[in-house]
A and B are shown apart, each in its own frame.
Chain A
């Protein structure tokens, strides 16, 4: 395609790369990408948008979520946890870093989030690279089972140029049951940390392979899109960096000479390159305690989980609380606090399978509650179980302010007192909810000591 802009190139790359589900909270051009990709329902916030996209990825479909830099802070909880639990179908996070502060409240550099858990970040430097990286990002996300972040700064949006279109592809993954991987919980954390470390090692190697054709006598390292600077300073002898992690091995021959680094935002790469030049210092970041005795299983929810196993062909998405882990290992996915309804929505957007979202009252009031209007707006069904036990029991029972019981009129409401309900009665109500194909909420009222 000739003479187009960076945004269109990204959109075409995602389309040809096989995007299935796209979510967004508006901000600095992210909503433009969303609408150009056919997105219709805007999410309530970035956290929810992220969780929906992760839920879709869990089914094996390819998903994209997009927002601006400030939005990544809103989505930080699911974003960081998704590195631990990984992804299934390719998942892309398109972050618009408005570093020129054209439409934002402050200058924020999203790359600082890279330092939490690593992963694979891409930063296109031209219209063609925008298309190519968008196109390939799904495949790379699936290669490492991690979300791939594409960082876009102001100059790429206005960049002009052409791109060479590649053959349209679709993802071919399906739902993978792997509770140890997809449920964030202390008992899985050791395993998940180990897997993430292996993935990051693989990514370091992989990244080097992307830089084979770059010059070894370069004097200018350009990170991402620096059209303005290239033109102003007439830059030549360029090494273009478009990935995080940096290609340390490929860069190392340049480091003995005088070099200049151009990047958009904070001196993120400069600090990393300086660190490469300094002598190796052994670091010590503390002993990670062994929590292999971290199996805490509450007997409070046994009847519910046993009944859930009797409802066939469903997926159980959990939340963080004393109900995340049961003896039958019923929860198939848990991303972060307050996420089970949005992850469940993402799952149903990408698959026909029915989902039960199990959430505590604290998590529901924290953020789960906001998702119900979005489920309704998208015309999807949802089976939601709210455990009403008087507050945040895991931390001592603090009461969380809010109206737990308000629901829009179209929502079907069921209430059961846990103590008085048998496993068979639970089974009946769960099957009824599942059949109704509407938005159904079961309030599970627990006895509390208050």
Chain B
């Protein structure tokens, strides 16, 4: 009989070291993992539409927020536990709630908060964070080496640090309340130490 797949959640505001940690984590486990981004359903059409409209800056925060709410409702209603080991890289729930909490669109926040208890839970949940100095260093390095990968969200830490920190505080609060997330500060940790911290929280995980 096939064992139940592992479903691990990784979250964090931009430049926290999430992508690197996910990559290193997969390498260290020595096996294949599916990675889902934001939506917990692969190819959720409402999420894809919301995301493309957001990138096109087509509507205001409230309209887009409601579209993400619809995508999340669809996620929750049609979710099935994944067949393969899966890493959930961010969730619509946490990213949207963090953004709208600080943006000042309380009606969107209210609906999201109502949806939070219905959201599927994970085998483990991690939120990555880093201090502002470290994030600014990472941003500079990305600007120098991979400028094409810079998104407007990446610049928030530089241009509006207090808004960025407020969003992170909201995200961490909700992650702790909804998913009992473990918070990992990557500011002074080596990549190996970050993965080791994750492993410490996953004693039953098969590792290389």
Contacts and interface: CB of A to CB of B under 8 A. Distances in A.
Interface residues of B, number: 27
Interface in A266-296: 290, 292-293, 295-296
A293 B105 CA distance: 8
Contact of A297 (B103, B110, B162): B162
Contacts of B166: 295-297
Contact of B165 (A299, A309, A423, A424): A299
B129 A293 contact: no
Interface in B162-208: 162, 165-170, 172-173, 176-177, 183, 185, 187-188
B172 A302 contact: no
A180 B174 CA distance: 10
* Interface size range of chain A in the complex: 20 to 34
Contacts of A329: 169, 172-173, 176
A180 B178 CA distance: 13
Interface in A330-350: none
A326 interface: yes
A293 B161 CA distance: 16
A447 to B, nearest CB: 16
Nearest to A300: B162
Contact of A293 (B101, B168, B172): B101
A209 interface: no
A254 to B, nearest CB: 43
A327 interface: yes
Nearest to A422: B133
A259 interface: no
A297 B109 contact: no
Contacts of A299: 132, 161-162, 165
Contact of B177 (A180, A290, A293, A424): A180
Interface in B141-173: 161-162, 165-170, 172-173
A325 B101 contact: no
A423 B173 contact: no
Contact of B131 (A180, A292, A296, A303): A303
A292 to B, nearest CB: 5
7 contacts: A293-B106, A293-B109, A297-B169, A302-B165, A306-B185, A327-B169, A328-B183
A299 B164 CA distance: 10
A298 interface: yes
Given A293-B109, A328-B183, A329-B176, 20 more contacts: A180-B173, A180-B177, A290-B106, A292-B110, A293-B101, A293-B102, A293-B103, A293-B106, A295-B166, A295-B170, A297-B165, A297-B166, A299-B162, A309-B185, A326-B169, A327-B169, A327-B172, A328-B129, A328-B185, A329-B173
Nearest to A289: B106
A325 B166 CA distance: 9
Contacts of B42: none
Interface of A: 180, 187, 290, 292-293, 295-299, 302-303, 306, 309, 325-329, 423-424
A329 B165 CA distance: 11
A107 B103 CA distance: 50
B120 interface: no
Nearest to B109: A292
B45 interface: no
A295 B131 contact: no
Given A180-B177, A327-B129, A423-B188, A295 B106 contact: no
A298 B106 contact: no
B104 interface: yes
B54 to A, nearest CB: 19
Contacts of B132: 299, 302
Nearest to B113: A292
With most chain A CB atoms within 10 A of its CB, the pick from B105, B129, B185 is B185
A166 to B, nearest CB: 39
A327 B165 contact: yes
B38 to A, nearest CB: 21
B179 to A, nearest CB: 14
B100 to A, nearest CB: 8
Contacts of B177: 180
With most chain A CB atoms within 10 A of its CB, the pick from B162, B167, B169 is B169
A292 B188 contact: no
A71 B177 CA distance: 38
A296 B166 CA distance: 6
B101 A292 contact: yes
A427 to B, nearest CB: 10
A306 B187 contact: yes
A303 B165 CA distance: 13
A180 B173 CA distance: 8
A297 B183 CA distance: 18
With most chain B CB atoms within 10 A of its CB, the pick from A180, A292, A298, A326 is A292
A306 B135 CA distance: 14
Given A295-B102, A306-B185, A423-B131, A327 B168 contact: yes
A297 B188 CA distance: 22
Interface in B75-131: 101-106, 109-110, 129, 131
A292 B106 contact: yes
Contacts of A296: 162, 166
Closest 9 CB pairs of A and B: A295-B166, A293-B104, A297-B165, A290-B106, A327-B168, A327-B169, A297-B166, A297-B169, A292-B109
